[in-house]
Amino acid sequence: MLILDDQLGRRIAKLYQLRYTGTLGVLIKAKQAGYLDAIAPIIAQLQQQGLWLTETVIHSALTLAGESKKNNANT
């Protein structure tokens, strides 16, 4: 399993039929496995360090991790 965040790397991995995930995928899996309580603060730190993420990608990751605003409003 490769960890790739850039589009070129993902295209090449797909071309060679390699399994890959991104940084957010690793965070989601870590939360699901119980290693993290929340990924939102880590995403914020990554953004402060220069990792560029669209709001759509962030929202999707938070939803998969059970941290979307909609999910939090229902708990």
**R_g of the chain computed on alpha carbons:** 13
Tokens (6 digits) for 17: 């039929």
Contact 30, 65 (CB under 8 A): no
Rounded Cα–Cα distance for residues 59 and 16 (Å): 29
| φ and ψ of 21, to 5 deg | -145, 170
pLDDT tens for each residue of the chain, 75 residues long: 999 988 999 999 999 999 999 999 999 999 999 999 999 999 999 999 999 999 999 999 999 999 987 555 444
**Is the four-CA dihedral 11, 12, 17, 18 of positive or negative sign?**
negative
